[in-house]
Amino acid sequence: MEPHSPLTATHLEPEKAPKVRDVSLCPCKSRLAYGLCCAPYHYGKALPQTAEQLMRSRYSAYFFGRIDYLVDTTHPDRKTPETRAGIQAFADQARWKFLTIVGSSKGQAGDKTGKVEFIAQYYQDGVLREHHENSRFRRSRGLWKYVDGKG
Ligand SMILES: [Zn+2]
């Protein structure tokens, strides 16, 4: 993180993160208010019903540095002792700028698996970069979880 950067506001401390009712636009670029989009998932008020909703909420969680949420929504089969540190490192290296959902397959209310392809743009060391990923999601105890992704 770079404290002098005007974009540091994207990395809010948890206590400064917007409340569920926040009307500012959600960082996942849904054009919905954060309080009507990803916040209810982040605050445990609702559960993502589709793989894409989980994917968006995980992007927003990276945006706000909500590491607990990212760990919680990683599929238990894929969690290792290094999972949290890996997420933290990835969250810290980037200042997230934009999310584009390229496409998705399955991942709906009646599915057990789903895939979401997305492009996340972020600044790293002042350079705009893209993270292009095909993510796989699978339900665990009925809840959507992130399995893995290929770049
Ligand atoms: Zn959102």
pLDDT computed for residue 8 by the predictor = 36
SS3 category, 60: helix
- pTM score: 0.85
Q: What is the pLDDT of residues 54-106, one digit of tens each?
A: 999 999 999 999 999 999 999 999 999 999 999 999 899 899 999 999 999 99
Cα of 20 from ligand 1 centre, angstroms: 12
Cα of 131 from ligand 1 centre, angstroms: 18
Cα–Cα dist 22/7, whole Å: 19
Cα of 98 from ligand 1 centre, angstroms: 12
What amino acid occupies position 2? E
Cα–Cα dist 37/49, whole Å: 12
Cα of 59 from ligand 1 centre, angstroms: 8
Cα of 32 from ligand 1 centre, angstroms: 7
Which residues, by Cβ under 5 Å, contact ligand 1, an ion? 26, 28, 30, 37-38, 56, 60
Q: What is the pLDDT of residues 108-135, one digit of tens each?
A: 999 999 999 999 999 999 999 999 999 9
Cα of 66 from ligand 1 centre, angstroms: 13
In the chain, what is the straight-line distance between the N-terminal and C-terminal CA atoms, in Å? 24
Cα–Cα dist 39/25, whole Å: 11
Shortest CA distance to 20 belongs to which of 1, 43, 51?
43
pLDDT computed for residue 21 by the predictor = 65
SS3 category, 120: strand
User: What DSSP state is assigned to residue 33?
Assistant: B
Whether the CB-CB separation of 104 and 51 falls below 8 Å is answered with yes
- Please name the helix (run of DSSP H) or strand (run of DSSP E) that holds residue 4, with its range, or none: none
Shortest CA distance to 60 belongs to which of 84, 99, 28?
28
